[in-house]
Chains A and B, each alone.
Chain A
């Protein structure tokens, strides 16, 4: 039986989202597809799959990523779905829980973990800049219309508010990535 759930997770809530999807799987609802706010589950036996959400450079259908997905499949890790964003994609992969009882871990050394956080940090900086510009542009339209004609531009203020929200979210995500990175780098000075 299918079950569709609409739920919002913000960009910095990656771990929370992943934990929720895994909890659903442990209750016998296995993720089959995810959209931006929609999750489609299929009823299976409980604990059949374990899920992981990845952040990758480039779109899901890029040659590089297709090669990577094929490689992961050889390891029993299958791509469930991906959502493309400018220059990047968020990917859901799953494996049989009996093959990966401790969860899917894609990086086993500090260097590749640092690399992952770096990619994330740079992307989040990019998103912060874009959303800040978009928000400020809308705000300036609202202010100038108000000053010149005394007209209040609802749509632009809504846009500005939304974009400032996204801006704050991406700044939080950027900071998080940098904190993770500096912890890993500290560790890297004594351990491989």
Chain B
């Protein structure tokens, strides 16, 4: 079964978690990646992180006793989902470019 589209927030969260990051780090990273366009709000990020952990697409790392901030990192199945989504997005972009003639 083809996978359903990921939300923009989830796509950027998974992309950010190639290396371990805590919540605020994710928000900053997504903002940088999107040149300031996507600003994740704390509550939305919190909900997304919990759902992603539940799905097994990301892992919550054991808490660092110094910073006391929880860090997250992508899992193998998260990587697969991300790659499939990238293929889906490429299809959209390719078709868009082909039919609109823009390049």
Q: Which listed residue, B23, B39, B41, B47, touches A74 by the CB 8 Å rule?
A: B23
Number of residues of chain B lying within 8 A (CB) of chain A: 18
Bound-state Cα–Cα, A138 to B9, Å: 51
B residues near A105, Cβ cutoff 8 Å: 41
Q: Which of A45-75 contact B (CB under 8 A)?
A: 68, 71-72, 74-75
Given the known interface contacts A74-B23, A74-B69, A75-B23, the answer about A112 and B42 at a Cβ–Cβ threshold of 8 Å is: no
The count of A-to-B residue pairs whose CB atoms sit within 8 angstroms is 44
Contact B23–A106 (Cβ < 8 Å): no
Contact A192–B7 (Cβ < 8 Å): yes
Given the known interface contacts A112-B47, A115-B47, the answer about A75 and B8 at a Cβ–Cβ threshold of 8 Å is: no
Contact A75–B7 (Cβ < 8 Å): no
Bound-state Cα–Cα, A170 to B23, Å: 35
A residues near B47, Cβ cutoff 8 Å: 112, 115
A residues near B7, Cβ cutoff 8 Å: 109, 111, 192
Contact B41–A192 (Cβ < 8 Å): no
Bound-state Cα–Cα, A111 to B46, Å: 13
Is residue B103 within 8 Å, beta carbon to beta carbon, of the partner chain? no
Residue of A nearest to B38 (CB): A108
Residue of A nearest to B39 (CB): A108
Is residue B43 within 8 Å, beta carbon to beta carbon, of the partner chain? yes
Contact B44–A108 (Cβ < 8 Å): yes
A residues near B9, Cβ cutoff 8 Å: 108-109
Contact pattern, B 1-44, Cβ under 8 Å of A = 1, otherwise 0? 00000011100000000000011100100000000001111111
Nearest CB in chain A: distance from B64 CB, A = 12
Given the known interface contacts A109-B7, A109-B9, A192-B8, the answer about A71 and B44 at a Cβ–Cβ threshold of 8 Å is: no
A residues near B8, Cβ cutoff 8 Å: 109, 192
A residues near B22, Cβ cutoff 8 Å: 74
Contact B46–A108 (Cβ < 8 Å): no
Q: Which residues in A have some Cβ–Cβ distance to B below 8 Å?
A: 68, 71-72, 74-77, 105-109, 111-112, 115-116, 192
